[in-house]
């Protein structure tokens, strides 16, 4: 047998073996599609079959239409309430057989799609006009119309219009107030404007915030801060509250507005929040946000000292002392430094300190510093460590 014949026969035999092995594996093993739950398997299989048929139809010989839309979404921007807006989309046929179109569905009865012509010749185009009735409610909207086509690769086309209905009043959804120290004022400025009313007034603002005050001043509708808001009237509002306790706070502002058009006053609520710094701060390379001051494991019989810088943020009529500490086997003292409001806190493990453990979550120490004459003017940090025989 010639060498060429042997090579050809060997190749055919190898291919036959590979085909047989592949067939055996295919018949013996079946895999579920990854990420598809059993109750959706039938729907998934139908979708896959549809895609396969669609691809086969697209690859089949013969003339086919090809649908194309240069832009499938149009933004109307700001619209008046209960107004009607229309936009025409252009659908092209880039194929070599007629394109058939039909309006199949819309996301809302307020949106209507109208075809200029149902059939589009190769190389030609047509218009699809979407008409949208905005309604009365101020909000951001997006509505769509679905077209059915005979393009084998694009059976459906989605065309969308979106926009924002003008509002009688625009206020902040929430109001962050400035961070401040204890006893100081937390403040915030914000704008109230109308895209419909030519004039209105802020009659009152109330809140349960401590020592709450407010003021308003006219604000130009041409100011850059309003951008393209198309405001017809605007006010700048300033609110402030004196903080008498530290930590986070959350309250509401109730704003009463007169539209000055004969209608009833309007009341809107704005959530306000802020944070008051602790009156006393601590600084040390050993100090951690969650763990506190970590001293580690220390041997008995050796005196050791650790220092923490203490910053008093509000200086008026307050003294700063060590109020309390644990464990009592340690010694804690504080002394002022040259810089006003700055103190040096010293934690000492005395030489005669007995064995003491204060490093666990349910058995840790602490140091509290503050004014003994003020319940609010204080702060503390956890203290963790072990004194034992090594």
| Residue 310: domain span | 280-388
Q: What is the pLDDT of residue 30?
A: 56
State whether 143 and 238 are in the same domain.
no
- Contact present, 81 and 163 (Cβ < 8 Å): no
pLDDT digits (tens, 9 = 90+) for 12-41: 445 444 444 444 444 444 566 767 788 777
Which is more confident, 95 or 318? Answer: 95
Does 48 score more than 80 pLDDT? no
pLDDT in tens, 328-385: 999 999 999 999 899 999 999 999 999 999 998 888 999 999 999 988 899 999 999 9
340 plus 286 within the same structural domain: yes
In a domain, 39, yes or no: no
Domain boundary among 232, 259, 276: 276
State whether 189 and 155 are in the same domain: no
Q: Does residue 58 lie within any of the structural domains?
A: no
Distance CA 128, CA 207 (A): 53
> What digits encode the pLDDT tens for the residues 115-158?
899 999 999 999 999 988 887 776 788 889 999 999 988 899 99
Tokens of 112: 């209507």
Q: pTM of the prediction?
A: 0.65
Taking only the tens place, the pLDDT of each residue in 271-289 is: 999 999 999 999 999 899 8
Identify whether 356 is part of a domain: yes
Buried b / exposed e across 318-352, counting CB within 10 Å, b at 16+?
bebebeebbbeebebeeeeeeeebebebebebeee
Q: How many domains does the chain have?
A: 3
CATH number at residue 352: 2.60.40
CB 223 within 8 A of CB 278: no
Is position 263 within any domain? yes
212 and 236 housed in the same domain: yes
Q: What is the pLDDT of residue 72?
A: 93
Phi/psi of residue 327, each to 5°?
-80, 155
Q: What is the dihedral of CA 294, 298, 301, 304, to 10 degrees?
A: -40
Q: What is the pLDDT of residues 155-207, one digit of tens each?
A: 999 999 998 888 999 999 999 999 999 889 999 999 999 999 999 999 999 99
Q: Is residue 24 part of a domain?
A: no
What CATH number is attached to the domain comprising 265? 2.60.40.10
Model confidence pLDDT, tens digit, residues 222-247: 999 998 889 999 999 999 999 988 89
Domain boundary among 260, 276, 292: 276
What pLDDT, in 10s, does the model give residues 53-106? 656 565 666 688 999 998 999 999 888 888 889 999 999 999 999 999 998 888
């Amino acid at each position: 047998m010639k060498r060429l014949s042997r090579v050809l026969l060997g190749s055919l035999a190898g291919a036959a073996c590979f085909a047989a092995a592949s067939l055996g594996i295919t018949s013996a093993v079946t895999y579920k599609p990854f990420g598809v739950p059993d109750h959706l398997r039938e729907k998934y299989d139908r979708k896959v079959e549809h895609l396969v048929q669609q691809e086969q139809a697209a690859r089949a010989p013969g003339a086919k239409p090809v649908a194309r839309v240069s832009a499938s979404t149009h933004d109307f921007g700001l619209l008046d309430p209960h107004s009607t807006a229309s936009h025409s989309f252009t659908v092209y046929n880039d194929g070599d057989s007629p394109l058939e179109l039909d309006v199949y569905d819309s996301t809302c009865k307020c949106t209507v799609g109208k075809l200029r012509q149902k059939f589009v010749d190769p190389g030609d185009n047509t218009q699809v006009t979407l008409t949208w009735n905005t309604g009365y409610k101020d909000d951001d909207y997006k509505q769509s119309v679905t077209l059915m086509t005979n393009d084998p690769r694009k059976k459906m086309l989605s065309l969308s219009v979106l926009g924002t209905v003008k509002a009688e009043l625009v206020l902040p959804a929430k109001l962050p107030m400035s961070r401040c120290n204890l006893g100081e004022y937390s403040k915030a400025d914000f704008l109230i404007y109308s895209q419909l009313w030519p004039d209105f007034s802020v009659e009152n603002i109330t809140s349960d915030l401590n020592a709450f005050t407010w003021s308003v001043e006219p604000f130009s509708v041409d100011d850059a801060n309003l951008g393209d808001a198309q405001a017809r009237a605007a006010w700048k509002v300033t609110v402030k509250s004196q903080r008498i306790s530290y930590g986070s706070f959350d309250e509401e502002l109730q704003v009463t507005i007169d539209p000055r058009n004969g209608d009833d006053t309007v009341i809107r609520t704005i959530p306000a929040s802020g944070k008051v710094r602790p009156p006393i701060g601590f600084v040390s390379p050993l100090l951690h946000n969650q763990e506190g001051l970590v001293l580690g494991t220390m041997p008995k019989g050796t005196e050791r000292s650790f220092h923490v810088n203490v910053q008093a943020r509000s200086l008026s009529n307050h003294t700063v002392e060590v109020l309390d500490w644990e464990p009592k086997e340690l010694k804690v003292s504080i002394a002022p430094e040259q810089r006003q409001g700055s103190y040096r806190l010293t934690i000492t493990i005395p030489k005669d300190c007995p064995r003491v453990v204060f490093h666990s979550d349910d058995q840790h120490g602490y140091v509290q510093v503050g004014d003994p004459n003020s319940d609010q003017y204080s702060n503390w940090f956890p203290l963790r460590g072990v004194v034992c025989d090594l």
